[in-house]
Amino acid sequence: MHSMNRQWKLKRYPDGMPTPDDWEMVESAIPRPGREEILVKALYLDISPYMRGKINPTRAYYGSGVEPGDTMIGGAIGEVMESNSDRIRAGQLVVSDFNFGWQDYSVFDPDSVRIVNPDLAPVETWLDALGVNGVTAYLGLFEAASMQPGDTVVVSAAAGSVGQITGQLARIAGGCPVAVTSSAEKLEWCREIGFDRGVDYQNTDNLAEALKIACPGGIDVYFDNTAGAILDAVLQNLAVGARITLCGTTSLASKFGQPDIGDRYWRQIITARARLQGFLVLDYPQHRYNEAQQRLGQWVREGRIQHRFDVVDGFDKAPEALIRVLSSKNLGKQLVAL
Amino acid sequence: MHSMNRQWKLKRYPDGMPTPDDWEMVESAIPRPGREEILVKALYLDISPYMRGKINPTRAYYGSGVEPGDTMIGGAIGEVMESNSDRIRAGQLVVSDFNFGWQDYSVFDPDSVRIVNPDLAPVETWLDALGVNGVTAYLGLFEAASMQPGDTVVVSAAAGSVGQITGQLARIAGGCPVAVTSSAEKLEWCREIGFDRGVDYQNTDNLAEALKIACPGGIDVYFDNTAGAILDAVLQNLAVGARITLCGTTSLASKFGQPDIGDRYWRQIITARARLQGFLVLDYPQHRYNEAQQRLGQWVREGRIQHRFDVVDGFDKAPEALIRVLSSKNLGKQLVAL
């Protein structure tokens, strides 16, 4: 156990794809919990693509951003080291979905964290299916895209944190999930967890044509975690009445601050009478989170949702872990183990 | 009255923007109505932007297309010249929304036309507010875009057939309609019929900036009749929760068969959690048409919906009239008077 609190602070806004030099590690005193507060020590940091949008100077992005000098934002699972609250005791495990920060220690009001039951599912699960990624997959698929049984459901970044859960939810809901991912190894994992078929876009000359073959009846639902070339290929293969959840833009990670220029398919959206929904999980009320987490928990317990985690060891590797995610190198949910 | 039936037949698929030479006028015998059928002589041909999509070799477009050698598709209002049906008599006026064709005479089953009551509204109205354009504006605004009172509603091609009605419906529904159009004269007409303000994009250096000024709280609803640069400018000014009806692509009329390349704003769609809906009025059931036409009729009778018509005289001018619409030269609903 360190006697200091290591923190990754943003040094400067990245230019396009981040580099490790965009942050710097500093040490400060371990914070002290106040009245009714708890001190939590991180076990795993959650590394997610949304973080790229938080370290961007354009203030138009949702929620507050991280400015140079701030501790980097992020969720974590950790152990309660000290508790000044009757509601929680030292030794319990808790999750903060967004507000732990890239640091060893953080102080919380117990109401702002979720208590983990490690008997219910492995602790990492609380950062994936039982965390924000699971709720994103659930509401993005069933609410934003109104997925129906029988739908052909294409998922991009299908072996990533949200993607792997989305495919399994589509299967549970009677759909036909189709993976788009970036390696044969990822595709193999997608097949293992129930995707009907898939396309490895890194080894495909013509993605639109490959999707046409994979989805001969057209694409009913597209869960978009990437934007870019995959979205373009999908828009050329929409079934009438298609629904698209625009959830992430990982492929644009190196394009922040530059316009994204390319082919546009507005006419195809009209002819398919498609619906596109910009999706942000934070917009949904607590009762929808409860609904999603209860059902996801049941499916995890029944073994109907499986996970892979891509764990990078060591606090010093946090920037590399984020770059890994933004470069599509991760297979499964990206974590940093402390 | 001609003793022959003049017809405009498609000679070849246009390359980009159509030219009059893409059609040829022929004369044939006046058709004879069969049992229970009526013979109708056209008074006004309806000229609409959707026609560009019908004369395109890509068969992916909705509904059937017009092939070289076919009589050009289109609606018309006309007078019953002969009737072999008890349900309708010679001298009555009828509308066929799509299936009259560019010709002097056409034969119908009386069930496939709408009977016009000229005492209720001027006959041309039955091709605009009381026709498909009115239903398109009504369902595109209230159903596809879920317009709410208080919404700032931007309408492109605002002085066109659908645009002029959409703006007046937004006003009736308690919204703030903002016109985007292509001349000072059109903008003046938009102000006259109740648009709060507007932008003449032909005389604006930076349309995104002009829309920002016109819509300081962001754009809640965008009714898109054009795609292209206007849609791009709107996507940079979305309010959180924005809804977009993708109804038309007039700005792409000269780009058929070529990819449309330009800036893309997927990230803005997510941050605004915007919903985009590809819209085709033909998808809605008859009862929604009845609902829309009943209400539109009431508002027309009350003088709450006004019209302008852009009437080109002479059957021989039909191709020029369509090119006029596709080039944004029309002010109001484009008709050809016979």
SS (H, E, C) B133-170: HHHHHHHHHHHHCCCCCCCEEEEECCCCHHHHHHHHHH
Q: Could you give phi then psi for residue B219, rounded to 5 degrees? A: -100, 120
For residue B285, how many other CB atoms are within 10 A of its CB? Answer: 8
User: Which pLDDT does position A58 carry in this prediction?
Assistant: 74
Across the interface, whether the CB atoms of B264 and A269 are under 8 A apart is answered no
Q: How far is CA B12 from CA A320, B16, B34, B63, B319, in A?
A: 58, 12, 32, 19, 13
On chain B, the residues whose CB falls within 8 A of the CB of A139 are none
Q: What is the CATH number of domain A132-282?
A: 3.40.50.720
Q: Given A252, A269, A280, which is nearest B278 (Cβ)?
A: A269
Q: Give me chain B's average pLDDT, please.
A: 94
User: Which pLDDT does position B224 carry in this prediction?
Assistant: 98
Over residues A108-150, the pLDDT tens digits come to 999 999 999 888 788 889 999 999 999 999 999 999 999 999 9
Cα dihedral sign, A265-A266-A270-A276? positive
Min Cα distance A236 → chain B (Å) is: 11
What does the DSSP 8-state code read for residue A66? Answer: P
Residue B304 class from Cβ within 10 Å (0-12 exposed, 13-18 middle, 19+ buried)? middle
How large a percentage of chain A has pLDDT more than 90?
A: 91
What does the DSSP 8-state code read for residue A74? Answer: B
Across the interface, whether the CB atoms of A269 and B262 are under 8 A apart is answered no
* Distance, CA of A131 to CA of A307 (rounded, Å): 12
User: Which pLDDT does position B321 carry in this prediction?
Assistant: 97
Across the interface, whether the CB atoms of A262 and B266 are under 8 A apart is answered no
Q: Given B249, B266, B273, which is nearest A231 (Cβ)?
A: B266
What does the DSSP 8-state code read for residue B236? Answer: T
On chain A, the residues whose CB falls within 8 A of the CB of B61 are 271
Q: Given A227, A262, A276, which is nearest B276 (Cβ)?
A: A276
Average pLDDT over residues A9-28: 96
Query: Domain locations in chain A?
Result: 5-128+308-337, 132-282
Average pLDDT over residues B327-334: 94
Task: Examine the pLDDT at A281 and tell me if it is beyond 90.
Answer: yes
On chain A, the residues whose CB falls within 8 A of the CB of B249 are 266-267, 270
Q: Which residue of B has its CA nearest to A239?
A: B60
Min Cα distance A88 → chain B (Å) is: 36
User: Which pLDDT does position B333 carry in this prediction?
Assistant: 95
Min Cα distance A295 → chain B (Å) is: 25
Q: Given B252, B272, B279, which is nearest A273 (Cβ)?
A: B279
Q: Given B246, B260, B266, which is nearest A249 (Cβ)?
A: B266
Size of interface A-B (CB pairs under 8 A): 103
* Distance, CA of B22 to CA of B156 (rounded, Å): 28
Min Cα distance A258 → chain B (Å) is: 10
Across the interface, whether the CB atoms of A246 and B269 are under 8 A apart is answered yes
- Indicate the pLDDT class of residue A72, thresholds 50, 70 and 90: very high
Over residues A154-204, the pLDDT tens digits come to 999 999 999 999 999 999 999 999 999 999 999 999 999 999 999 999 999
Those residues whose C-beta lies under 8 Å from the C-beta of residue A33, and which sit 6 or more positions away, are: A39, A82, A83, A84, A107
Cα B115 from chain centroid?
Answer: 20
Q: What is the CATH number of domain B5-128+307-337?
A: 3.90.180.10
Cβ contact A10:A65 at 8 Å: no
Mutate to test the interface with A, among B270, B271, B275 (most CBs of A within 10 A): B270
On chain B, the residues whose CB falls within 8 A of the CB of A270 are 246-249, 278-280
On chain B, the residues whose CB falls within 8 A of the CB of A274 are 277-278
Average pLDDT over residues A317-333: 95
* Distance, CA of B230 to CA of A196 (rounded, Å): 40
Cβ contact A127:A77 at 8 Å: yes
- Indicate the pLDDT class of residue A254, thresholds 50, 70 and 90: confident
Cβ contact A43:A79 at 8 Å: yes
Min Cα distance B260 → chain A (Å) is: 5
Task: Examine the pLDDT at B1 and tell me if it is beyond 60.
Answer: no
- Indicate the pLDDT class of residue B238, thresholds 50, 70 and 90: very high
Chain B interface, Cβ < 8 Å to A: 53, 60-62, 227, 231, 246-249, 252, 259-280, 283
Cβ contact B67:B21 at 8 Å: no
Q: Which of A95, A176, A175 is nearest to A129 (CA)?
A: A95
* Distance, CA of A147 to CA of A174 (rounded, Å): 9
Over residues B143-153, the pLDDT tens digits come to 999 999 999 99
Q: Tokens representing A279? A: 């999706």
Q: Given B264, B269, B278, which is nearest A262 (Cβ)?
A: B264
Across the interface, whether the CB atoms of B276 and A273 are under 8 A apart is answered no
For residue A17, how many other CB atoms are within 10 A of its CB? Answer: 14
Across the interface, whether the CB atoms of B271 and A62 are under 8 A apart is answered yes
Mutate to test the interface with B, among A231, A264, A280 (most CBs of B within 10 A): A264
On chain B, the residues whose CB falls within 8 A of the CB of A279 are 270, 273
On chain B, the residues whose CB falls within 8 A of the CB of A248 are 270
Across the interface, whether the CB atoms of B267 and A249 are under 8 A apart is answered yes
User: Which pLDDT does position A139 carry in this prediction?
Assistant: 98
Q: Given B62, B246, B274, which is nearest A278 (Cβ)?
A: B274
User: Which pLDDT does position A59 carry in this prediction?
Assistant: 58
Q: Given B227, B249, B269, which is nearest A276 (Cβ)?
A: B269
User: Which pLDDT does position A209 carry in this prediction?
Assistant: 97
Task: Examine the pLDDT at B59 and tell me if it is beyond 80.
Answer: no
Q: Given A53, A260, A273, which is nearest B278 (Cβ)?
A: A273
Average pLDDT over residues A283-297: 95
Average pLDDT over residues A228-254: 95
DSSP SS3 for A180: strand
DSSP SS3 for B311: strand
Average pLDDT over residues A270-288: 96
Q: What is the CATH number of domain A5-128+308-337?
A: 3.90.180.10
User: Which pLDDT does position B256 carry in this prediction?
Assistant: 79
Average pLDDT over residues B192-209: 96
Average pLDDT over residues A84-108: 97
Over residues A48-63, the pLDDT tens digits come to 999 999 998 875 556 6
- Indicate the pLDDT class of residue B163, thresholds 50, 70 and 90: very high
Min Cα distance A275 → chain B (Å) is: 4
Cα dihedral sign, B107-B111-B114-B116? positive
The helices-and-strands tally (H runs, E runs) of chain A is 9, 16
Q: What is the pTM of this model?
A: 0.94
Task: Examine the pLDDT at A10 and tell me if it is beyond 90.
Answer: yes
User: Which pLDDT does position B257 carry in this prediction?
Assistant: 76
CB-based burial, A134-147: b 16+ in 10 Å, e otherwise: bbbbbbbbbebbeb
Over residues B84-138, the pLDDT tens digits come to 999 999 999 999 999 999 999 999 999 999 999 888 788 889 999 999 999 999 9
